[in-house]
């Protein structure tokens, strides 16, 4: 139904209310997902259900947000944020899905908070969804929402996109609430994942942990549950590639990049951009760069790596310890390999807006994108998009979802310092013809599979042959 409304459900809204004394202001949310969904909401119309920095339930209109669609704000207090977001989402699901099971804290209070907040999201969605609407739930923060919507009898097409890696049964099975999580997901009509490997791992979990029948397909699978069919597909998220390219080619942005290169004073500039998180492999990358400098003293004055680390919104002792380790590693490398006043490493611990990032991406000869595990990693695609002329080299972890798309990158095992050093050596010494051949292929694919392709693909699949949900028992009970 092309004129049906879109109801987006996500942990965070595209804007956040900020209170400074008695004054309430609005701040745009930084992130690729918020921008992507904002574009489709503007084009299609509907309602966005999310936490917007408030502890009260309210509908935020254009007079408050400046957006052409309303936001149904889900109230979250400090206890909710601690248990649902800081607790279950970030200390159970995040490490579990990224294969760091020893970092999980299976606290029953976290699970209780997660259930409570997911219930709140589901009820807020049921309040605004109309018959025939399309409900698009996003990510691991809202696993239980599809199942709860179905139990509420919401007559809408329900889809959920899972943005991070999906674990195999041997990992998800560690979690004592595995059946409830899978049952909640199976309340959807369509489940989207970043890679076919993620789809298959989800199918293995459903088959082994729930005993539900799974039918394999070329681009995904189908699960029979409660007398209906749930489809799971691989659909890698894209970026607004043309916007990044336009920013990178803007004269003011190019001038900023030129000034940056002049300040660094290096023949070859490398860049790495990550949020502060143990899954991003920042320390491992720095050790690989250190190994390269040990092996290749002829590059000491010729190369400079700029490591940008964005502070995490979530503060736990593990992250503080990680920052300390990064700081020590940076200090050691700078101390060992600085020649005269020229350092081989520049470290920035702060966030950058899109324009400044585009300047840094465009100025860099090499990007090091080497997470230990990642659902996709949009930094890789952003860097590629900022090199429309075909210059630049992308060094990419084989454990990032982007590696399935960006095959012409220099792929690397981020756990091995020698492997990272080898990849850096390959990148800085790559012949111009090979560099251009690889990057032109990457640019073409990033442009083809952009964010518009992703949103239209997911919504098209959700609309095709999927009937509105009807009231029934929760999926977990019906399996």
Please give the positions annotated as active site. Answer: 163, 374
Helix (H) or strand (E) holding 191: strand 190-193
Distance CA 86, CA 80 (A): 9
Of 163, 190, 224, nearest in space to 463 by CA = 190
Of 199, 197, 156, 181, nearest in space to 49 by CA = 156
Q: What angle do helix axes 378-385 and 432-448 make, rounded to 10 degrees?
A: 110
Distance CA 157, CA 2 (A): 13
The Cβ of residue 179 has, within 10 Å, a number of other Cβ atoms equal to: 13
Distance CA 62, CA 60 (A): 7
Using the CB atoms, write b or e for 447-474: b if 16+ within 10 Å.
Answer: bebbbbbbbebbbebbeeebebbeeeeb
Question: What one-character-per-residue DSSP string does 312-372 give?
Answer: PSS--HHHHHHHHHHHHHHHHHHHHH-BTTB-SEEEEES---HHHHHHHHHH-SEEEE--S
Of the chain, the end-to-end C-alpha distance in Å amounts to 30
Q: Residues 393, 452, 365, CA angle at the centre, nearest 5°?
A: 15
Helix (H) or strand (E) holding 111: helix 108-128
Q: Residues 292, 295, 297, CA angle at the centre, nearest 5°?
A: 95
263, two tokens = 């300040």
Question: What one-character-per-residue DSSP string does 218-276 give?
Answer: SSEEEEEETTEEEEEEE------HHHHHHHHHSHHHHHHHHHHHHHHT-SEEEEEEEES
Look-up of token digits 């609430």: 177
**Residues 213, 478: contact at Cβ < 8 Å?**
no
Residues whose CB is less than 8 angstroms from the CB of residue 285 and which lie 6 or more positions away in sequence, other chains included: 272, 307, 368, 370, 414, 420
């Amino acid at each position: 139904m092309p004129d049906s409304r879109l109801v987006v459900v996500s942990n965070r809204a595209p804007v956040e209310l900020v209170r400074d004394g008695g004054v309430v202001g609005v701040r745009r949310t930084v992130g690729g997902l918020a921008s992507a969904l904002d574009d489709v909401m503007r084009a299609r119309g509907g309602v966005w259900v999310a936490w917007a920095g408030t502890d009260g339930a309210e509908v935020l209109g254009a007079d408050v947000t400046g957006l052409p669609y309303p936001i149904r704000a889900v109230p979250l207090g400090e206890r909710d944020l601690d248990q649902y977001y800081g607790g279950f989402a970030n200390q159970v699901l995040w490490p579990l899905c990224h294969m760091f099971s020893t970092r999980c804290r299976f606290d029953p209070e976290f699970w209780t908070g997660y259930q409570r907040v997911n219930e709140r999201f589901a009820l807020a969605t049921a309040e605004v969804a109309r018959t025939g609407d399309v409900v698009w739930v996003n990510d691991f923060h809202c696993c239980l929402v599809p199942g709860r919507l179905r139990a509420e009898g919401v007559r809408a097409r329900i889809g959920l996109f899972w943005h991070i890696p999906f674990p195999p049964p041997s990992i998800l099975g560690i979690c004592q609430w595995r059946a409830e999580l899978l049952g909640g997901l199976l309340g959807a009509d369509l489940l989207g994942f970043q890679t076919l490997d993620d789809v298959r791992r989800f199918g293995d979990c459903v088959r082994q942990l729930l005993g539900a029948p799974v039918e394999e397909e070329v681009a995904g699978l189908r699960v029979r549950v409660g007398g209906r069919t749930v489809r799971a597909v691989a659909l890698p998220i894209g970026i607004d590639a043309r916007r990044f390219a336009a920013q990178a080619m803007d004269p003011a942005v190019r001038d900023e990049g030129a000034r940056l290169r002049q300040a660094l004073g290096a023949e070859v500039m490398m860049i790495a951009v990550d949020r502060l998180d143990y899954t991003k492999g920042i320390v491992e990358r720095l050790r690989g760069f250190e190994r390269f400098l040990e092996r290749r003293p002829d590059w000491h004055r010729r190369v400079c790596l700029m490591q940008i680390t964005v502070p995490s919104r979530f503060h736990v002792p593990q992250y503080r310890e990680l920052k300390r380790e990064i700081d020590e590693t940076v200090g050691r490398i700078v101390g060992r390999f600085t020649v005269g006043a020229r350092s081989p490493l520049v470290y920035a611990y702060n966030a950058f807006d899109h324009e400044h990032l585009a300047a840094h991406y465009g100025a860099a000869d090499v990007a090091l994108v080497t997470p230990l595990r990642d659902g996709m990693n949009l930094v890789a695609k952003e860097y590629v998009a900022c090199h429309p002329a075909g210059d630049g080299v992308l060094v990419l972890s084989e454990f990032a979802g982007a590696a399935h798309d960006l095959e012409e990158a220099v792929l690397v095992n981020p756990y091995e310092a020698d492997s990272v050093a080898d990849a850096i050596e390959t990148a800085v010494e790559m012949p111009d013809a090979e560099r251009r051949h690889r990057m032109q292929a990457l640019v073409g694919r990033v442009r083809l599979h952009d964010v518009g392709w992703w949103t239209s693909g997911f919504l098209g699949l959700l609309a095709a042959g999927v009937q509105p949900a009807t009231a029934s028992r929760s999926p977990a009970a019906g399996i």
